[in-house]
Amino acid sequence: MLKGKTAIVTGSTSGIGLGIARALAQSGANVMLNGFGDAREIEALRADLARESGAEVGYHGADMQRPDEIADLVDAAARRWGSVDILVNNAGIQHVAPLETFPEDRWNAVIAVNLSAAFHSTQKALPLMRERGWGRIINIASAHGLVASVHKAAYVAAKHGIVGLTKVTALETAQSGITCNAICPGWVLTPLVQKQIDVLAAQEGLSPLLAKQRLLSEKQPSGEFTTPEEIGGLAVFLCSAAANQIRGASLSIDGGWTAQ
């Protein structure tokens, strides 16, 4: 379905981003990966994804806290494949602390990576999409873009901001072939969430299994993690013609979390 399209997926060397990148590549899109990690492991991942999908897969190591590197990421994809048709703003980091003691540097970093980076990449990619009259911007928000939890001031603020940015982008592109939507996952078993499980297990003296169950029971009525593959499938749908009039939506994929 996406043969001939070019996609950038930020934060795609693991977790949700990798699941989305894999789904887009398997649908025929050229994919530019981005993220941190061991260079040899990333190259092996890139090569495996290209081999299994038959798509062209590149990698760019842009730091999402640096607007100049974000601009180079978009330019690199456009130079290599001639366009940027799909932009998935997924890169994210987390820090958990009470508001009164939340470190200022962690606040700034979370806002930069989780919110400002999406602004910079969208601003850079949008003119390329307008030139071709087609584009898909998919912002990975969170259940925390719709509701809040304690000790996550920066993350919740950033994800609420992503939902707002999504709506503005959708309105400014409403009479074009470009759409912008947000996907709002609940708990997904990613390295980011695994760290929270490990902390909970240590604090409460729980086994890893019980810690996972405790985490899910607090928020997610289904009792199951959302998977990167499920989120990837939703991203591919948003790139389809069936989603032409889905604009500015915040699509929950959270096991019932925000239905409560």
Catalytic residues: 155
Report d(CA 159, CA 185) in Å as an integer. 11
Report d(CA 210, CA 208) in Å as an integer. 6
Q: Categorise residue 59: left if φ over 0, alpha if ψ from -120 to 50, beta otherwise.
A: beta
Q: What are residue 7's phi and psi, to 5 degrees?
A: -120, 140
What is the number of other CB atoms lying within 10 angstroms of the CB of residue 136? 24
- Output the six-digit token pair for 233: 């499938």
The vertex-186 CA angle with 13 and 234, nearest 5°, equals 65
Report d(CA 195, CA 188) in Å as an integer. 12
204 half-sphere exposure, CB direction, 13 A CA radius: 16
Complete edge-to-edge strand list for the sheet that includes strand 86-89: 57-60, 30-34, 6-9, 86-89, 135-140, 178-185, 250-253
Grouping H, G, I as helix, E, B as strand and the rest as coil, residue 164 is helix
